[in-house]
Chain A
């Protein structure tokens, strides 16, 4: 008998697949269960955000930014508003700055909750997902109080906010924060310390700092590799320099620095830090101030260009805006963090099993709306 003829099998994962976090398609070359090559195929959710922006007035772009990263809409709006404000040199009232930070950080908690829950789902734990969504509901309730919407807010406008916060908002936020630490302890109990979970996540998809930097990975995934870069800390924008918070880094507690478990755990810690920031911002929140006072009548940034970056839940969100002095941007480019974060998957996922590829994908926390734009 001759040698058994064996070859690699191409496996299409997605775009309809329960664990690709949307409409991502992964072309896997598999040898049995081992994956030898991963090719992400994107574009199934492409909605021409950048081209649209070239035909819309500046204030009209704001709702579209939220639709890109739909799990971190407040962060996207915040980044865009700050970019245009910087071009126009708008000085904001203190109250607006504080409220924006509160919303951005609450959004970060909400987004990380989804990341943790879906990562749990990816490795087969269903219950933590529901727990995470229980807390996310509370945050969405807060957002609904303020903006009327639960997912896409159009709340942070260029030069201010759509509305001031309603009465009772501050108290409810304090209430949420008081209960939140206990809930984080719950997640740690049911998922973080679970032996099977550690076995599934530790030492899987190790991303060394070199790989992370070469691929332009940012956000929690980068910090999990031990690289201390958080734009809120390294280039403080808005009023982040006034708050006292730590930047959690991956320590490789159960494996190597930069493995999937680290990426997961950095997010758990970041939620706690965000809660700390929200609490400080609420303590310092000025009572007086009109949130609409700085909104310009006419938004016509002077001729020129700007690249403004901010720390979104998923990483560095950059807006490159070219203005020719009209009320419509000549060109708007969004540097989306999840796009770069996804690109690393072939590098760190090779040689692992199909199940691991899913775990790695979950630990990168991608949002397809933002990758395809």
Chain B
């Protein structure tokens, strides 16, 4: 994307004089800024959504005052955090205390460089994209340990140590699960992985249920792998039920205890960036990335029909629950579906934008993570380690072997 942006800049007559290196550097800057803006805005939106989701799960309303339906609440909170006094404890290791949060933030933002948002929207098309994402995102643990150690607080230290143990433990099963996918595709390039999931096929190769060619439906082993990966990744990003490093009721706030203001906001930012990253990886690796589930003519029409059905169900639900008739979603989806059946080309056009499907999948996964967080209790440290080393790791090893055997049985690879 950087080179194409540079080429685009150079295509203007006035700008052509700057030469390729300058244009390239400018594009690099623009793309990096775009990624950072995406991460920051994403965090602001996600915090708002998380508060709303948790509120609806807890029979509350959530933020309602700032902006329409409280939509500007997180903006207000962010501004408040920026204004707060920057406190560095007297006995803290000042250098580590200052750079710790930045290490975490940089590690979690930089990973987005390799994420394909759609077929063209991709900052760096690396041939080792998956490896890059996994390895860079594990630098986060370094920042956490820095922050926890530098705080000179026993709670922070506990949080940091727990975090280090947890992230390192879960990296192994997660990595092995990802290797299973790499074995199927034969490439570490994330874009290649997405492209390999295009089209429609049978469930588990033989069962005659037409489903998109996503890896989660590729074979039973990858189906299981998707869940293993989601579990392991939830643990890696320290979210409930694995939020042990910052477990509020035990360690006050874990490694974040001594941080305030902007530095604390950085932790928050990177936390949501990491959650988004995991959601992106799950969608890319198992759910077909930016591939539309309805990518053929018939599929698009079926898809819109399903949408209409859902809209009708929603209307009935609203009618029963809230005693009011909301005709708009049904009307809109009916019109779209009618158009889809009448003009198949239109349907395909409407159903194809990759960015939309990508973000929809990501949003679903993030909602799932939020759902976990607001319903589950927290595991204990030793239980967490038990799950990682004695349950998930053996399963993922067997899984890797199973995938290989499956590939051999279905003839996708020959020895």
For B381, give its contact among A18, A33, A190 (CB under 8 Å): A33
Most buried by A among B54, B59, B154, B249: B249
Q: Is B377 an interface residue (CB 8 A)?
A: yes
Instruction: Please report the total number of A residues contacting B with Cβ < 8 Å.
Output: 30
Please name all residues of chain B whose beta carbon is closer than 8 Å to the beta carbon of A124 when the two chains form the complex.
Answer: 240-241, 243, 247-249, 376-378
**Complex CA distance for A32 and B335, rounded to whole angstroms:** 64
Report the nearest B residue to A33, measured CB to CB.
B381
For A120, give its contact among B59, B158, B377 (CB under 8 Å): B377
Q: Given that A124-B240, A358-B249 are known contacts, is A353 also in contact with B381, CB under 8 Å in the complex?
A: yes
Interface-lining segment among A151-159, A196-204, A216-224, A299-307: A196-204
**Complex CA distance for A354 and B243, rounded to whole angstroms:** 15
Q: Is B379 an interface residue (CB 8 A)?
A: yes
Please name all residues of chain B whose beta carbon is closer than 8 Å to the beta carbon of A200 when the two chains form the complex.
Answer: 377-380, 383
B221 to chain A, nearest CB (A): 24
Q: Is A9 an interface residue (CB 8 A)?
A: yes
Report the nearest A residue to B381, measured CB to CB.
A33
Please name all residues of chain B whose beta carbon is closer than 8 Å to the beta carbon of A145 when the two chains form the complex.
Answer: none
**Complex CA distance for A131 and B60, rounded to whole angstroms:** 10
A147 to chain B, nearest CB (A): 26
Please name all residues of chain B whose beta carbon is closer than 8 Å to the beta carbon of A120 when the two chains form the complex.
Answer: 377
Please name all residues of chain B whose beta carbon is closer than 8 Å to the beta carbon of A229 when the two chains form the complex.
Answer: none
For A191, give its contact among B54, B243, B377 (CB under 8 Å): B377
Q: Is A355 an interface residue (CB 8 A)?
A: yes
Please name all residues of chain B whose beta carbon is closer than 8 Å to the beta carbon of A18 when the two chains form the complex.
Answer: 248-249, 252
For B252, give its contact among A17, A33, A126, A130 (CB under 8 Å): A17
Is there an interface contact between A134 and B59, defined as CB atoms closer than 8 Å?
A: yes
A24 to chain B, nearest CB (A): 14
Please name all residues of chain B whose beta carbon is closer than 8 Å to the beta carbon of A194 when the two chains form the complex.
Answer: 376-377
Please name all residues of chain A whose beta carbon is closer than 8 Å to the beta carbon of B375 when the two chains form the complex.
Answer: 125, 127, 190
Name A346-364 residues within 8 Å CB distance of B. 353-356, 358
A237 to chain B, nearest CB (A): 37
A296 to chain B, nearest CB (A): 46
Please name all residues of chain A whose beta carbon is closer than 8 Å to the beta carbon of B247 when the two chains form the complex.
Answer: 124, 355
Please name all residues of chain A whose beta carbon is closer than 8 Å to the beta carbon of B86 when the two chains form the complex.
Answer: none
Name B residues whose Cβ lies closer than 8 Å to a Cβ of A: 54, 57-60, 154, 158, 240-241, 243-244, 247-252, 374-383
Apart from the given pairs A124-B243, A131-B59, 13 other A-B contacts in the complex at a CB distance below 8 Å: A124-B240, A124-B241, A124-B249, A124-B377, A126-B58, A130-B60, A190-B375, A191-B377, A194-B376, A354-B158, A354-B250, A355-B250, A356-B380
Name A residues whose Cβ lies closer than 8 Å to a Cβ of B: 9, 11-12, 17-19, 33, 120-127, 130-131, 134, 190-191, 194, 196-197, 199-200, 353-356, 358
Q: Shortest 10 CB-CB distances between A and B: which pairs?
A: A124-B378, A125-B377, A130-B58, A19-B249, A123-B377, A124-B377, A197-B377, A196-B377, A355-B380, A122-B249
Pairs A–B under 8 Å by Cβ, sample size 17: A12-B154, A18-B248, A123-B249, A124-B249, A125-B375, A127-B54, A127-B58, A130-B60, A131-B58, A131-B59, A134-B59, A194-B376, A354-B251, A355-B247, A355-B378, A355-B381, A358-B249
